[in-house]
Amino acid sequence: MKEKRNIVITGANSQLGNAIMRRATNDYDSQIIATTRSSADLSEFEKNKNITHLTGINLTKEQDINKLSQIVDEKFIDKFDIIHSVGNFWYHVPFKEYEMHQAKEMMESHYLTLYNVCYNLIPKMINNGGGHIIGFSCNSVKYNYPLMAAFTAAKAAVETLIKCIANEYSKDKIIANAFALASLQTNTVEQSKPFGDFENFMSTDAVAKAVLKINDEGFEYLNGNIINLFKYSDSFFNEGYLKRNKK
């Protein structure tokens, strides 16, 4: 018998969000609330009656957050997890060429959306008996790569928020961790890194498997962590950042 899971998946229309949805429905008996900012095509999952798809949800807007909160109240009476896969894509851009409004949007899309979701749903998690919160960071926070300042700063804020939530709400049976990802095998990443070691980038399915596995019962002590996921790449360990990305 498959383990029952209640999950809020934000950013479900991304390639990573799609992979998480697929794993969650195939490997678990999952009741899912999926959010997308656009009227995204989730036709692969449209026949699944256990999936509630909220379209047009901008997680920086109070009215949209309230809509999500209402649906969580209606659908989940037991503990539930949050997997937050939202955020604008990064590009290699010099600091002074990345305009202030772009930096603001980057911070809002990665950090503010996570803050808003947690702020509104943590009280419901407590009432329902707890759950897991998963955010996504990047190994650029550890290595401080050039040409990625706005994105990396936003991801650093994500990491700090996750750790603060873990420390403050462990007593309420809430577990919060973030995955620091290396490059993914997605179309957008491949286009942005034409000289990258694409075959050794991580598959979105491998990330999805790790994300859902850590939420299994028995992982209560793995809390407040930044978990690095990567697949060995010879170029990553033996070439400089600019050489492997900006040839």
Which tens digits make up the pLDDT trace of 61-117?
999 999 999 999 999 999 999 999 999 998 889 999 999 999 999 999 999 999 999
Report the 3 state secondary structure along 201-218.
Answer: CECHHHHHHHHHHHCCCC
| CA separation for the pair 114, 98 (Å, rounded) | 23
Write down the pTM of the prediction. 0.93
Q: Angle at CA 63, nearest 5°, toward 176 and 71? A: 60
Q: What is the pLDDT of residues 152-191, one digit of tens each?
A: 999 999 999 999 999 999 999 999 999 999 888 788 887 7
Split at pLDDT 50, 70, 90, the class of 218 is low
Q: Where are the domains of the chain?
A: 4-245
pLDDT value of position 135: 98
- Average the pLDDT over 184-212 and give the result: 83
Architecture, CATH, for domain 4-245? 3-Layer(aba) Sandwich (3.40)
Contacts 24+ apart (CB under 8 A), 189-195: 192/89, 192/91, 192/92, 193/245, 195/244, 195/245, 195/246, 195/247
